[in-house]
Structure 1
């Protein structure tokens, strides 16, 4: 079978034949149906979050169960699933606390390997690493059962891929992390799939003013489709993004969701919030090291909170998002701008350079 492979940091992605082993006791082998491209995949090519190669790419997608290990009880062959990069045991200290979605039993895996620190993927006799819990840009992949969520087989495949990471991360940041109150003001930095998810979550929570910030003027229309009320393009002004936000909201916004991962915008996102009560959720991350942070902005009582998967729990919350997706409560068709086949994966990176590109769908 074939998969998209990167042989080294910054090298061109190629589609090659690989071998995929049968699943072990608590694992599932999945036939991938559809995947999509996320910024984390770009970071992985650049050596983040781990610098292990050769690397089988992809972490967003949807597939169907092809075979299961002896100890798998909650899934069967033919079930439709989406892979997740964090699990939920419902028993550890963090899961029962109700304060976080970061499970201690099934955490985010940054090794590029299975929980037993081995791999089910190989190429020319050489072990393959993968992005987070799996490698969705592959015709088949093996995933630990604790990193899979079952979905209705009638769900739109492309949309299911979007909610497997990007959109749900932003949506959850507004819903689960910020816990935005009705009538609040919100600023969202970066209007990719994550930022548009944050806008959608802010709208659902009843925010009165939702400001989208992006240098791409084409994002204005799509942001409005998800619920954005005001748009700022900082490239057309000598003022900082935080100053432009305050021109719309006086002392600043109640909440800010930072989705770009651009280090210099982290301080800006905090300074865009109100002193004393402003809260910023940082969900964007990239390969660049974080620049010196403006601590002074924090000393006036603002809060900065990091977030993993937008605070969404894979058992408790992701099914809610999937149900809303199936009921078409989100205009996810606005995200679907480009499509390629797996064998033409190189075109996906070219599409990303186009200003009208939001999500690239990859068909197997």
Structure 2
């Protein structure tokens, strides 16, 4: 590290909503009180990042992208005692203030601070600026699709140094969101029946979350036959193309009258309705995908009462990051959780535009940008 106030770094930016991402050199300020600077090792290319570039998730540009990152701490700010240079860490795109009612009741994924820091650090400021000195917003309080990033300690989780960082980064969003939806939100029971709509990065993890939890029948649903075949490797016992006529009826027949759990991992209201429609009595449908702000869904209201069905959301897999990240990595070490198989392509930072194009075309389970 040099003695200047800023560290020069290449970063992936959304400069204009609706336009391809760009790679620019930026300046990242060294950490202030309660902050750390991370030399990033890898960052997953998540659909949420894509959604920020196309306006599905409204965030003002210019925006440094990235929230699913891993790296090594190189500097700590005043008052930081729980982290030190050399620590391996993951970013968490939700803050964990520890003081609001949600953190206090064990639901840090709903932390009030996170909602206030969607494009900045918790204090409302940023540590990123372009070479003209203009501030740059950061995606979900992280902005870790860059060679260096300065984060508040509330957005950082320490991990062991024994897991390769290009694999470990996936825990920070896609794996936590999908596996957590099954194990934390739905609390899938052994021997149950589950249907997962959408076999992208999050859907594949919902599938393996159901497998780890002991579901006896896991049906993967997607338009892509290639993704359905991939889903088998993560634990799907059955697959069905979503172009199947009378899809809900076909799924109910396949499951012998309906599923105990259904997961919507796409972010579209009509698929939410399908997920709810495949449920057996007493079943639970979990909405995991991020829909556009004006998207809506419709369910038959009486079925909530007479069939005791549940329709609920799952944000970040109902995660408690400081407890769940290490737990997921332990499952990986035990070869019960698949990480290596999720990565279908690694990219250099200058290939970021191609990584986003591949994501938009559905070519990857997960693409990962690996920094030098």
- If the length of structure 2 is used for normalisation, what is the TM-score? 0.91
The yes-or-no answer on 1:166 pairing with 2:171 is no
Which residue is equivalent to 1:266? 272
Which residue is equivalent to 1:256? 262
Does structure 2 retain, via aligned residues, the 8 Å contact 1:225–1:331? no
Which residue is equivalent to 1:308? 315
Please state how far the C-alpha of 1:361 moved relative to its aligned partner: 1.2
Distance 2:46 2:342 in 1: 12
Deviation string 1:12-59 (CA, Å, 9 cap, x unpaired) is 211111111111101111111111100000111123433311111111
Which residue is equivalent to 1:191? 199
Q: How do residues 120-159 of structure 1 correspond to structure 2 at under 5 angstroms?
A: 120-123=127-130, 124-159=132-167
- How many pairs does the alignment contain? 360
Which residue is equivalent to 1:179? 187
- Taking only aligned residues, the RMSD between alpha carbons, in angstroms, comes to 1.9
Which residue is equivalent to 2:31? 23
Distance 1:281 1:91 in 2: 28
Please state how far the C-alpha of 1:109 moved relative to its aligned partner: 4.8
Deviation string 1:212-236 (CA, Å, 9 cap, x unpaired) is 111110122221111111101021x
Match of 2:83 among 75, 82, 103: 75
Unpaired runs of 5+ residues, structure 1, are: none
Please state how far the C-alpha of 1:327 moved relative to its aligned partner: 3.6
Which residue is equivalent to 1:346? 353
SS of aligned partner of 2:273: helix
The yes-or-no answer on 1:45 pairing with 2:53 is yes
SS of aligned partner of 2:80: coil
Q: How do residues 193-232 of structure 1 correspond to structure 2 at under 5 angstroms?
A: 193-232=201-240
Does structure 1 retain, via aligned residues, the 8 Å contact 2:272–2:297? no
Distance 1:359 1:293 in 2: 31
The yes-or-no answer on 1:320 pairing with 2:331 is no
Which residue is equivalent to 2:67? 59
Q: In 2 relative to 1, CA 287–110 (structure 1 residues): closer, same or farther, beyond 3 Å?
A: farther
The yes-or-no answer on 1:12 pairing with 2:20 is yes
Unpaired runs of 5+ residues, structure 2, are: 1-8
SS of aligned partner of 1:171: helix
Q: Which has the higher helix share?
A: 2
Please state how far the C-alpha of 1:150 moved relative to its aligned partner: 0.7
Distance 2:71 2:359 in 1: 24
**4+ residue runs of structure 1 moved beyond 6 angstroms?**
none
- If the length of structure 1 is used for normalisation, what is the TM-score? 0.93
Q: In 2 relative to 1, CA 63–108 (structure 1 residues): closer, same or farther, beyond 3 Å?
A: farther
Please state how far the C-alpha of 1:153 moved relative to its aligned partner: 1.7
Please state how far the C-alpha of 1:107 moved relative to its aligned partner: 3.0
